[in-house]
Amino acid sequence: MNLIERLESRRERSEEERLVLDSVARLADEVIAPRAAHHDRTAEFPADNLAAINELGLNAIFVPDAFEGALLPFDTYLECVKLLTRACSSTGIIYATTFHAMKPLIDFGTVEQKTRLLPRIARGGLGSLAITEPTAGSDATAMRTRFVPSASGEEIAISGEKTFISNGDVAELFLVFGKWSEIDDPRGAITALVVERGAPGLSVAGREDKMGMRASSTVTLRFEECRIPRANLLGGPGDGLRILLASLNKSRPSIAAHALGIARAAFDDMVGWMNERRQSGRAVIDFQGNQFLLADLVSELALSEAWLGYVAGLVEEDTGAGDYAIEASIAKLRASDLAMRMTTEAVQMHGGYGYIKDYRVERLMRDAKITQIWEGTNQVHRQLIGRHFRAR
């Protein structure tokens, strides 16, 4: 067992957790990884991978038992994200996006809402989180999507457009953030609600052709007087910003796990190459400068893994206060920066071969870049972390 494997096994897991992780590891290695290059090349949605994931019932591990789930500790979910991502980054983020979208429903929904909606996710339905707009990226308060209550009060009409929406054309349920028309304050008006697939007035306006994560669909959603029942309102009008910020504390560690899955795949490929490739009669790994590079990278990988485990413990122990935003930001920042550095160094170590699509490191480098951008750009996270220390 090497250094990283020892770190990953630091917590004694239940037999159920071990069985789940062993099953996910086999699925990732034997089924998902062999298909990854094809899905990247064609940008074809990996429906076959998702069907295999659903056969294992993996959505159920983050859904409470009362709603047809089989809830397991948060760090077990994170390990599943890492394992799936090491095999195929697109498949990993499709799975993780469902968690990101549905965790607010789990945490803030009414019993009626959860009873009605969560079983669809536990059985394998996909979720989508709709926040970003053409004029509102890192600043969510600039969103223009409007929620207008009907005169009867039984329906809400949604008008607006959301862009860069993962799973937007395949999701069963959408968690949509917009502004309540009867509240003037830009921050206080933000509201959240659940939109079900097939709602009249909801359409896909276009799909993006991306640098990386090519098999994960990213679309523009258009809401044209899209009417949904008021029963799908999450919390009350104006509760959206509170729900959003609390949810990011849990989705950002998930993005960190996704980034670390990419970093670990790149590290494995790089080490394998350095042991096999020979220059000047010596294995590449035997050059001191290359050993120094590996030492730096594995140290950062080990520390990022350990920090993510710490943050996972904070999430698991959360009793409602949820005051770990800075810790979550640090996890996302360091893991995504590491993913970009690790994949860049892996390409460099492969030399010209690293620039060729026949080698996985080329794909991993393209996949890594978005982890520094979504779920809050790393510039925003540095600002959040830095201003935390301002004297008050």
- State how far the alpha carbon of 216 is from the alpha carbons of 200, 211, 284, 314, in Å: 25, 11, 35, 29
CA torsion angle 74 80 81 83 (round to 10): 150
What single DSSP character describes residue 333?
H
Q: Where does the chain show beta strands of DSSP type E?
A: 127-130, 146-149, 155-166, 173-180, 190-196, 202-207, 218-229, 233-234, 278-279, 282-283
What are the b/e assignments for 38-67, b being 16+ CB within 10 Å? Answer: ebbeebebbeebbebbbebbbbbbbbeeeb
For residue 218, what are the β-bridge partners? Answer: 166
Residue in 161, 172, 362, 375 annotated catalytic: 375
CA distance 353 to 288: 22
CA-CA-CA-CA torsion sign (373, 339, 207, 119)? negative
CA distance 331 to 381: 10
CB 175 within 8 A of CB 221: no
Amino acid at 362: E
In 3D space, the residue among 155, 149, 212, 213 whose CA is nearest the CA of residue 181 turns out to be 149
CA distance 275 to 283: 6
Does residue 300 have an active-site annotation?
A: no
Q: Find tokens 């870049």 and name the residue.
A: 369
Q: Which residues are catalytic?
A: 375
